[in-house]
C-alpha cells in the first residue's frame, strides 16, 4: 500500500493516519490461536502429594549410620559411625551386620519391618553425588532394603508430624 495524499487547497500534504486493518487481522488470528491452545495447556493430571514438611527420624541402635564427604583430590571418604572405611570394608561390614541381625532374630523367616536395620547416610553439602551414590549402592548391594538420608531442616523450622 502506498501513502495517501490529501488535498487541502493547492498543496498536497501527506496523510498522517495509520491503516490499522492489518494489525487488527493479526491480533484476531493470535486471539483465536490462544483460545484454542490455552485449554490444552491447562489440562493437568491429578497427583496426590504427601503433606510432610519434615519428619524426625527414629534412631534405633541397630541402624547403620554412615557419613560421606569428599576427600582431597576428588576421593570419597565414608565413615561407619566414626570409623573410616573404604568401599570393600563398607560392603563387608554391611553384609556382616545383616548376617548378625538374621542370626539374632532366628533366621530369615523372622525378619520383619521393625527388626530390619536401616542405613542412614549423612552427606555434606559439598560432597560429590558419586560418593553418596556409591555408599547407597554398596548398602543396597549388601542387602539393606531401607537406605535413607539424614538432613537438617532449615533454621527456624520445627518438626511436624504426618498429616
Q: Write down the pTM of the prediction.
A: 0.58
pLDDT value of residue 139: 92
For the chain, the structural domain boundaries read 5-42, 64-150
**140 has a pLDDT exceeding 80:** yes
- Structure confidence by residue, pLDDT tens digits, 89-124: 999 999 999 999 888 888 888 888 788 888 988 887
- Structure confidence by residue, pLDDT tens digits, 29-79: 999 998 888 877 666 667 666 665 666 666 777 788 899 988 888 888 899
Angle between the 129-142 and 87-105 helix axes, to the nearest 10 degrees?
A: 30
Among 6-10, 26-30, 65-69, the range scoring the smallest mean pLDDT is 6-10
pLDDT value of residue 90: 92
Among 4-13, 74-83, 86-95, the range scoring the smallest mean pLDDT is 4-13
Q: What are phi and psi of 16, to 5 degrees?
A: -105, 15
Domain spanning 64-150: which CATH class is it, in words? alpha beta
pLDDT value of residue 47: 65
Cα 144 to Cα 90: distance, rounded to the nearest angstrom: 12
pLDDT value of residue 7: 57
Query: CA triplet 148, 58, 157: central angle to 5 degrees?
Result: 85
Cα 66 to Cα 87: distance, rounded to the nearest angstrom: 12
pLDDT value of residue 158: 54
Amino acid at each position: 500500500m502506498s501513502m495517501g495524499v490529501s488535498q487541502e487547497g493547492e498543496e498536497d500534504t501527506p496523510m498522517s493516519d495509520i491503516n490499522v486493518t492489518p494489525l487488527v487481522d493479526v491480533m484476531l488470528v493470535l486471539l483465536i490461536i490462544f483460545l484454542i491452545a490455552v485449554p490444552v495447556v491447562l489440562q493437568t493430571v491429578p497427583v496426590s502429594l504427601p503433606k510432610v514438611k519434615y519428619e524426625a527420624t527414629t534412631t534405633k541402635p541397630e541402624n547403620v549410620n554412615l557419613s560421606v564427604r569428599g576427600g582431597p583430590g576428588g576421593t570419597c571418604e565414608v565413615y561407619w559411625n566414626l570409623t573410616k572405611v573404604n568401599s570393600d570394608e563398607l560392603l563387608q561390614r554391611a553384609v556382616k551386620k545383616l548376617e548378625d541381625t538374621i542370626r539374632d532374630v532366628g533366621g530369615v523367616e523372622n525378619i520383619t519391618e521393625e527388626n530390619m536395620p536401616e542405613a542412614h547416610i549423612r552427606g555434606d553439602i559439598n560432597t560429590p553425588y558419586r560418593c553418596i551414590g556409591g555408599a547407597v549402592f554398596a548398602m543396597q548391594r549388601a542387602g539393606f532394603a531401607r537406605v535413607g538420608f539424614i538432613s537438617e531442616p532449615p533454621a527456624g523450622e520445627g518438626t511436624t508430624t504426618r498429616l
